[in-house]
Structure 1
Amino acid sequence: MKIQENAVVGLTYELKVSKEEDGIESAPFSVEIRDEEDPFYFLFGNSGLPEKFEELLGGKEDGEDFSFTLSMVDAYGEPDDELVITLPKSQFSGERGFSPEMLEEGNFLPLMDENGYSMQAKVLKDLGENLLLDFNHPLVGFDLHFEGKIIEVREASKEELAHGHVHGEHGAHE
């Protein structure tokens, strides 16, 4: 089966990122590896990944290798200064499940928005009573280099289509 809308896709890959600064592209460095022990599964057309990622996988089949680069523009774009905000440290108390170590600069805080969706913010600076947090996607501002293999393509079940995600061994459990 070819990768197409509403197919469940399983892949292994290595993701490397690079960034252009002052007209000079940095050497790509590895940030994530998904191997046979921990493959990545998603519902094609409903992955939440950059559109170009799915577009470049479309039509490929089980067993095929892939290698492509998403430019920053086609990936997560440029950083948005409006997503860097200061919040009172008191909002990140022990009663809310936060430890002092979690609030250290450079750490990512697991958060939820007002609709209950998971999100994260990077602690940029401890300002004493406040924290300077960056809510931009961690891969914003980078070119993404993917190299991998398609290990499974199958038709999504009615339940997976209704729920918008993969069920079973490689997906969400109900």
Structure 2
Amino acid sequence: MEVSPNVVVGITYELKVSKIEEEIESVPFSVEVRDEEDPFYFVFGNSGLPEKFEEMLAGQKEGEAFQFSLTVDEAYGQAEDDMIMTFPKSQFSSQQGFSEDMLQEGNFLPLLDENGYPMQAKVLKDLGDEILLDFNHPLVGFDLHFEGNILNLREATEEEVETGIVEGYED
């Protein structure tokens, strides 16, 4: 079996990011490691991951190593100003499951979209009665550098293909 549409792919990897500022690229620094104790699983073709990420893994077999980079435009693009919004602080009360320390600048708030799917927003600024949130993906504006291995492959169930959500891994 190889990485192809409707296959559940389990990978281990280290993700490093870098950013170009004033035409100088920063040294890549590690932001995430997924090892054999906590691999990352996704349904190929319905992952919500950048298209180029899937392209780079297509055709690989279980046990194979990979190493590739995605430019900002191939990854999550640049930040969009319309994804930065102000909300009344009252919407983030303890009755809704939020604590005061969750609203600190730099924190990511766990939220649900209008369809009940999990999402997050970064707290940019406490404006007193309001809070400024950034709904851009946390990796916008970064080049992504992946190094890892294809750990497991299996056919996705009909439900996994439909939803893109992996319900667990079984050999």
Common topology (TM > 0.5): yes
Residues 108 and 121 in structure 2, CA contact (< 8 A), matched pair in contact too: yes
Partner of 2:144: 144
Partner of 2:27: 27
Residues 76 and 140 in structure 2, CA contact (< 8 A), matched pair in contact too: yes
The separation in 1 between residues aligned to 2:113 and 2:159, in whole angstroms, is: 26
Residues 41 and 166 in structure 2, CA contact (< 8 A), matched pair in contact too: yes
Pairing of 1:1-174 with structure 2 (within 5 A): 1-169=1-169
- Which deviations, in whole Å up to 9, do the C-alpha atoms of 1:71-94 show, x marking residues without a partner? 000000000011111111111001
Unmatched 5+ stretches in structure 1: none
The separation in 1 between residues aligned to 2:157 and 2:129, in whole angstroms, is: 50
Unmatched 5+ stretches in structure 2: none
How high is the TM-score relative to the length of structure 1?
0.94
Report the secondary structure of 2:12's partner residue: strand
Runs of 4+ aligned structure 1 residues displaced above 4 Å come to: none
How high is the TM-score relative to the length of structure 2?
0.95
The separation in 1 between residues aligned to 2:12 and 2:78, in whole angstroms, is: 27
- Tell me how large the CA RMSD over aligned residues is: 1.2
Measured after TM superposition, the shift of residue 114 of structure 1 is: 1.4
Measured after TM superposition, the shift of residue 37 of structure 1 is: 0.2
Measured after TM superposition, the shift of residue 112 of structure 1 is: 1.1
The separation in 2 between residues aligned to 1:154 and 1:13, in whole angstroms, is: 19
- Residue type of the partner of 1:30? S
Measured after TM superposition, the shift of residue 116 of structure 1 is: 1.1
The separation in 1 between residues aligned to 2:159 and 2:92, in whole angstroms, is: 37
Measured after TM superposition, the shift of residue 169 of structure 1 is: 4.0
